[in-house]
Amino acid sequence: MKLLGLFFLSFTLLFLCPFISQADVPERSREPPRPIVFVHNDRSKFDPQQVHVSLAGKDHMRVTFITEDNKVESVVEYGKQPGKYDGKATGECTSYKYIFYKSGKIHHVKIGPLQPNTTYYYRCGGNGPEFSFKTPPSTFPVEFAIVGDLGQTEWTAATLSQIKSQDYDVFLLPGDLSYADTSQPLWDSFGRLVEPLASQRPWMVTEGNHEIEFFPIFEHTTFKSYNARWLMPHTESLSDSNLYYSFDVAGVHTVMLGSYTDFDSDSDQYQWLQADLAKVDRKTTPWVVVLLHAPWYNTNEAHEGEGESMRVAMECLLFSARVDVVFSGHVHAYERFKRVYNNKADPCGPIYITIGDGGNREGLALSFKKPPSPLSEYRESSFGHGRLKVMDGKRAHWSWHRNNDSNSLLADEVWLESLSTSSSCWPSSRSSDEL
């Protein structure tokens, strides 16, 4: 298995050409990509590894872990005190094959009901180390850490360290997780790399192009690894696909969309999104946030126009629902736009933010188009991460923190006002009770 793993890793690094454009920003020196961090398993075959938690419907969390031994049960014991477990749940398991690779036993266990803003201690599979997580609060304030195109390089490790240094409630990742690109051992390494964070706070992710993993002749099932390892609450949000779903935290409704599955008006995703947004009560849920991978608005030369067909198909739904913010990845840089609709500034449109700067092995997208678009408020080719702190039903603070090697430097920030509070953005025929 180790030899096969090395084969897949070598194949990926040799034949997958990273995108690194020529520098277009002379005022700052840009750091080059850094080596991959491969994390080996140092536990027994019976012990859980690659542990991560995710939200799974109201008052519930899903614990996901992998064991090399197939006889380990899909159980999680949990409680509010270390070593004392008064709750126990049994879940489901799966595994998959990818050419010559065979995964370990992947366990998904849904636990709850859980109390909000509470630390729980838990053990997976009846064996191994104890972990802990904190549930998100049920009321404001609530804080999201957000970063896309994470990968597993030395830059990634620095970004994760900086995120962990300041507490948050939920981690949001708009696609491109492991950059395994068919080299399946990199999925295992990524799970071990993020476990210290992902086992303590819910990680909510959506897929990117690097999760597709189509391999001509040998493997035609797309998203096989991603769907097996990162089960999200699509069933709980009435979605038929793990590639798009939604969830609620405090007064924030978050929608995770799929850039690489059908999205036209006849598609299941479009119909689901339309129904999902229609159910949001903006009086009890004043904030609506959307994440997707390929940006709809982008002034970088990298991936220019790749999100345009999805924008044309779906932008009207987001605008009609008065979505507050749209986060995307894909472009390895940071950019924040004004409120926009149909390529024009519009006070009732979402703010669009590209944050595909987690630390991936392909490096930064360095070439922004000139002159700058009047719609673009701030743009920079640096690694980093963002934080959205929703203070109450009206105000939220967005900040972007540049990854300056071992330090995290605040580089951009702005206060946001929820569109739910803007009477001018809602048709006069609708009463405030309908908002």
CA torsion angle for 120, 121, 124, 130 (degrees, to 10)?
Answer: 150
Q: What pLDDT was estimated at residue 428?
A: 62
Position 31 confidence tier, pLDDT thresholds 50, 70, 90: low
Which residue range(s) make up the domain with 254?
A: 137-425
pTM of this prediction exceeds 0.85 = yes
CATH of the domain at 193: 3.60.21.10
The active-site residue out of 108, 210, 234, 303 is 303
Q: What pLDDT was estimated at residue 433?
A: 32
Q: Tell me the per-residue pLDDT of 132-163, one tens digit each, with 9 for 90 and over.
A: 999 999 999 999 999 999 999 999 999 999 99
Question: d(Cα 173, Cα 292) in Å, to the nearest integer?
Answer: 9
* Known catalytic membership, residue 385: no
Burial of residue 181, with CB atoms counted within 10 A of its CB: 0-12 exposed, 13-18 middle, 19 or more buried: buried
Domain count, the chain: 1
Residue 31 lies in a domain: no
Q: What pLDDT was estimated at residue 92?
A: 98
Whether the CB-CB separation of 176 and 208 falls below 8 Å is answered with yes
What's the one-letter identity of residue 286?
P
Whether the CB-CB separation of 238 and 271 falls below 8 Å is answered with no
- The residues near 36 (Cβ < 8 Å, ≥ 6 apart) are 13, 151, 152, 153, 186, 361
Residue 211 lies in a domain: yes
Whether the CB-CB separation of 261 and 150 falls below 8 Å is answered with no
Residue 380 lies in a domain: yes
Question: d(Cα 94, Cα 142) in Å, to the nearest integer?
Answer: 33
Q: Is 417 left (phi over 0), alpha (psi -120 to 50) or beta?
A: beta
Question: For residue 217, is pLDDT > 90?
Answer: no
Q: Give the closest residue to 322 by CA, choosing from 431, 422, 247.
A: 422
Q: Give the closest residue to 301 by CA, choosing from 18, 20, 17.
A: 20
Residue 4 lies in a domain: no
Whether the CB-CB separation of 103 and 95 falls below 8 Å is answered with yes
**Looking at 36-45, 265-274, 331-340, 403-412, which range is the least confident one?**
403-412
- The residues near 315 (Cβ < 8 Å, ≥ 6 apart) are 296, 341, 342
Residue 130 lies in a domain: no
